[in-house]
Amino acid sequence: IREPDEALSTDLVPGDVIVIPSNGTIMPCDAVLICGTCIVNESMLTGESVPITKTDLPNPQQDKKGGHGDAIYSTEEHKRHTLFCGTNVIQTRYYTGEMVKAVVVRTGFSTAKGQLIRSILYPKPTDFKLYQDAYLFLLCLVAVASVVFVYSLVMKILNQEPVKEIIVKSLDIITITVPPALPAAMTAGIVYAQRRLRKVGIFSISPQRINICGQLNLVCFDKTGTLTEDGLDMWGIQRVEDGRFHHSEEKADDKSLVTTKFVSCMATCHSLTKIEGQLSGDPLDLKMFEATGWILVEATEEETAHHDRIELTYVKPPNQLLPPSVISPEQDMELSELYELSASYMIGIVRQFSFSSALQRMSVVVRQIGERRMDAYLKGAPEVVASLCKKETVPEDFAEVLEDYTKQGFRVIALAHRRLESKLTFHKVQNINRDQIEKNMDFLGLIIMQNKLKTETPGVLEDLRHANIRTVMVTGDNMLTAISVARDCSMIQPQDRVIIADALPPKDGQTAKINWHYADKPSQCAIYWPDPVTVVLIQEQYHFAMSGKSFSVIIEHFQDLLQKLVLHGTVFARMAPDQKTQLVETLESVDYFVGMCGDGANDCGALKRAHAGISLSELEASVASPFTSTTPSITCVPNLIREGRAALITSFCVFKFMALYSIIQCLSVALLYSVSSPFIY
């Protein structure tokens, strides 16, 4: 293998092949992996310091059966194969002695980091009525100054004053009427507000938006990590066998469950990795894996270098969890025999399909040591997982059980399994499409996680409600869970009714339609649109709730209803990142001044688009939002609105003072000019 040449990062151009150092590096460009695997911290872009595994780009020609040509690389579509500029490569892994290589695809301001910096350098212009009116009023002052200028000019010519005096004194009128200190004076309130905000841990990269905060009348909140605690706690599991639910169980690390497919799915279907001996990854995955009590073992670089793409990661239960029928305390076993017994339960992770917020699921292909056929495990949103499973394996009361948990505010995750065909070899699996794996699954059951409200959340929302500031929840979580949390934190009052708008796209020649259901009675139809009863919806005690899928259908097929729905919409669940941005734009189109409060991960687009985006994350991605709070709680929202109102009133009062001062001085000087008074000299 030829040793790579060293070059400056500034000399890189798209198409260059670079070697990623084994000890990690900060990426100087966007590059796509073509050989090897990397573990990357993308907090600089996403706002979440969760290590992500990046795999090499699969060769589309190995999958191709028709003559359609090679697939075109897309940054968005091949995100899990792309190393983004500015992100930190923590570890690299390689096979058969090859180096970890990547092809440069973008450099400079074209990279993801470059676009982020560009949005900071050139933020969206502040479309604020006070500033528009200020420019309009300055034009009026210029018109007044022009009239007084002509009047003074005529009067001085009639008084036969020297030419020099006429020019100097007449032009002086314009500088008196149009105050040059007005912009500086109006900024004074903003400067002091910014200082006060800094003291309470709120920082801003766009100070002009502080004034806009004074006019906020609607605030959107993310749920997880914003209204609720970041971490999730395991509440219990509910397994399915023969198409029926078992009774709920508290623990998954029971000896009787160790060999079940359910526990195997919990132990393998995750994106965890070991960094310096510590398990790292998504907090939800971490809680789920810890609940099994299993052990994760990763092969070292030296081991993988001598093998042809063996499983890099495998999991196994500790010896004390192995069934009593297999290991008897009376048996006198050698350590080597005990290890072999434990090894027989080892499961190697062959292929990983990363979690996608758009697909709302992740899956893995695994192989148990000693078996030829491989298994596929799936984890994700219950509705999505159930739709990918065989109907006979999904319990008939699935919807009722799920609804019962979500109404109580639990976060529910579903698991599924599928035995893969024997013809699927290791190399075929490396290039197979995830759609071919994620189908005809067997439903395994539910994991129930508890997500508690932050202590300060109800009080802050109550303050906003008393101030007549509307609050909206925008989350990627389940609909009924979101409604439950909204009721718990008093975003929706106990006596208020919630109507779920379930929009269905056109299908089999039928036009798109919307079904309306009460959240507490999903089977009962609430109302059909249009209908005379819709007048009732104008009342404040009704709230609309809708999912991301319904929202996209409404945008496409019910544009005339969209604005009416967002006027009373309180809960928007299962929202993708781009849908959050679309919602903010829609709310702004109905003349709301919108604030967005999120954790800086999936909310980046909405944070930038809102009039006032408030990030609760101190990581690099938060810089994209105008405001960042060092305290990860929503108490920053009322503080920001208070300071915004104080700055706005100060700016308005300074504006009036400066304008009146200028007009009075202008008219006074014009009057003195008209009588040639000596007081003006």
Q: Which residue has the tokens 């059966």?
A: 65
* Residue the block writes with tokens 């009047």: 151
Q: Work out the widest C-alpha separation in the chain, in whole angstroms.
A: 125
- Which of 31, 187, 188 shows the shortest CA–CA distance to 110? 31
Helix (H, G, I), strand (E, B) or coil at 311: coil
Measured on CA atoms in the order 594, 598, 602, 607, is the torsion positive or negative?
A: positive
623 Cβ partners below 8 Å, 6+ apart?
116, 120, 205
Structure tokens at 523: 């089977």
Q: Which residue has the tokens 């500034």?
A: 10
d(CA 32, CA 17): 9
DSSP-derived 3-state class of residue 203: strand
Write 298-301 long-range contacts (CB < 8 A, 24+): 298/273, 298/274, 301/22, 301/93, 301/94
Numbers of helices and strands, H then E, in the chain? 21, 30
| Cα-based torsion angle of the residue sequence 566, 569, 575, 577 in order, rounded to the nearest 10 degrees | 50
Task: Let me know if 179 is exposed, middle or buried by CB neighbors in 10 A (0-12, 13-18, 19+).
Answer: buried
Terminus-to-terminus CA distance in the chain, angstroms?
88
Annotated active-site residue in 30, 56, 222, 442:
222
The answer to whether 450 and 233 are in contact (CB under 8 A) is: yes
- Residue 392 burial (CB count, 10 A): 10
The C-alpha atoms of residue 187 and residue 254 are separated, in whole angstroms, by 64
153 burial level (CB within 10 Å; 0-12, 13-18, 19+): middle
Contact 631, 198 (CB under 8 A): no
Distance, in Å, from the CA atom of 504 to the CA atom of 21, rounded to the nearest integer, reads 50
Residue 539 burial (10 A CB sphere; 0-12, 13-18, 19+):
exposed
222 is catalytic: yes
Answer yes or no: are the C-beta atoms of 435 and 227 closer than 8 Å.
Answer: no
Q: Which positions are annotated as active-site residues?
A: 222
